[in-house]
Every structure is written in structure tokens, then in C-alpha cells.
Amino acid sequence: MIEMIGEVWYPIIYFKLSFGRQDKFENAVKQIQQKLGYSKDIKKPDLIKQLGQNKETYEIRQLTYNLSRWVPQRFIRPWFADELRGMKDQFVNKAIIERANRDYMKVSKPSLYRFLDGNKIEISPLWEGYLLLRLKILKGFTYWHLISYLQKRNPNVANITTKLFPPEQRQLLNARKFWDIYISSKGCIQCIYSDQSILKETYSIDHFLPWSFTGHDQLWNLVPTLKEVNSSKSDNLPAVNYINDFVALQYDAFHTVQLRVSGRSNLLEDYSVLFNQTLSEINAMKLDEFSARMLDSIKPQLQIAKNMGFQNNWVYHK
């Protein structure tokens, strides 16, 4: 049960995905995070270890009790569908346990596992070889249906597939090249959050819309800032008064870099994807048109992220 908490920690706590109203995991995991104070990006092995050390706390005992009360029995209900048809719900769990233990070694149709004392199950030897041999296929089948399940309950969220697991290494090489070219051409620029000077040697790259919301590193969402500002912002949503400065910086950076990359147009491909236009068409835009197109994309995403529970209206205080 604790390992199941580890599986859903990142989708729920880090990426703020919803598992739907009927699912009890979401509230329980959030309560555990609030009561025990675990970091949202805690490593899975560390999380499982700490949950094991705190397994007698009320929140964890209540969650594991609710799961053990229903999940192991109902998971194998299809094995005994004919026998259980029409049975009153309060008798179903007991009937499943009896039949699972009865058919544990039944050659023609063995139950997947049997129930042992102390909230334990034991996989049937007749199933074990099948499961081990086809584990990758079964995992793929499971994740496919989990993605479909989550997409229905998070219809406005992109990149669901990247939000089932802890985040991988960020791919910021192109972003670093892009902003190096821009800052070198300007000599020095101002941070949109703090108004402090940014030099080529000292800047950090911030995701204007948090990476834990977007799940991508596309250039149009990235902006140079200072390390301490980036740390302060974390995965909060910036206040709306930063948007115009952000868009104006993107406009100037795009046109400045466009003049200097000529034969390396793939560096700016993210803008073509966002605007669904060629680089030459984007280059011909005036600031007003460029801003309007950017805002049409950013503002709805800010609202969606706010609705998901991301902290909004962040302002930098030195």
C-alpha cells in the first residue's frame, strides 16, 4: 500500500493532476503531504522509506486500511463473476477470499493469488511465470489505461505521459544558446522580475509557466533571470503585471537572435510551433500582433494552472 502511495506521489503532489472525485487516493496523499511535511519532489525510495517509518500515523493507517478493505478482493472479482452475480455487496469480499483460496492451484482456471493472514497475498505459482515473462507488456497496458483515465479527468492538461514519473533532466541546451546570443548582443539586460542587471556569465533560466505544469522546455516559455529570483519563484505562477515585460522581452529576443542565426533556424523552431507560422512570417509581426498571439496562448494556461492548484500571483521581493 505504501508503494502505491509512492506511485501516485508525483502525478498528484508534484504535477497536481486530478484522479477524479470518486478516487480516494488524491485527498489521502495530500493529507499525508500536509501532515508529515514531505517535500513535493522527494525521491521515491526516500518517500517509501519515510512512509514505512511513519506507517503508524493516523493518515497512513487510514489510507492503507481503506485500500486493503477493497482493492485486493475486488481486483480479482472477474475470476468469479458468474458465481458472484446477484450477490449482495456486503457478502462479496468474503466470497472472493474463499474462492481465491479454493482455486489457488486449480489447473484449469487458477485464481491470481490467495489471501493469507495479516493482510498478505500470495501469487499463484501457476501465474507467476506468466507475469514475469510478460511484465513489460502488462506495465505498458496498465500505463496506457492510466493515461486515458487521467486525460479524461484533466482535459486541459498537456503532456500527461510525462507526468506519471519524477521529472527527468531538463533539456536547456538550445535555450542556453538562444539567450547567450541575445545577451551577448545586448551586453546586459534587465530581469523582468527584479529589474536587476543580468550578464551572460551569471543568469539562470526560468520557466515563466512552471515546468511542472507545462512539462516542456520550449523557448517561448523561457526567460533569463537571476538564480536567487528563480529559486524564489519555484513553480509559482507569476503575477499578471509581469506578462507584458515577458512578452516584450520575447519579441526583442526573437528578432535579435533571428538576425544572427540565419543557417540555424531550427534554434527558433519552438516559435513556429507556437504560432503555427513560418519564421519569416513571425519576423514580420509588429509587437502588438506578436504580443496578442503570445497572450492568447499564455493567459488560458495561467488560468488552467491556477485551477489545478498552482500558487498564483507570485511577486519577487528582494
Cα(124)–Cα(111) distance, integer angstroms: 7
pLDDT at 295 over 90: yes
- Rounded to 5°, angle at Cα 307 from 304 and 312: 90
Residue range 177-187: mean pLDDT, rounded = 93
pLDDT at 264 over 70: no
CB < 8 Å & 24+ apart, contacts of 154-158: 154/17, 154/18, 154/308, 156/304, 157/17, 157/304, 157/308, 158/214, 158/215, 158/216
**pLDDT tier, 171 (very low <50, low <70, confident <90, very high otherwise):** confident
Residue range 147-154: mean pLDDT, rounded = 94
The whole-number pLDDT of residue 130 equals 94
Of the candidate ranges 47-56, 86-95, 261-270, the one whose mean pLDDT is the lowest: 261-270
**pLDDT tier, 149 (very low <50, low <70, confident <90, very high otherwise):** very high
The span from the first CA to the last CA of the chain, in angstroms, equals 44
Residue range 292-312: mean pLDDT, rounded = 93
The whole-number pLDDT of residue 169 equals 67
The whole-number pLDDT of residue 262 equals 67
Residue range 17-23: mean pLDDT, rounded = 86
**pLDDT tier, 87 (very low <50, low <70, confident <90, very high otherwise):** very high
The whole-number pLDDT of residue 119 equals 78
The whole-number pLDDT of residue 253 equals 95
Q: What distance separates the 2 farthest-apart alpha carbons in the chain?
A: 78
Strand-pairing partners, residue 224, are 205
The whole-number pLDDT of residue 224 equals 96
Contact 188, 203 (CB under 8 A): no
C-alpha cell at 217: 522546455
Residue range 262-280: mean pLDDT, rounded = 85
Residue range 14-29: mean pLDDT, rounded = 85
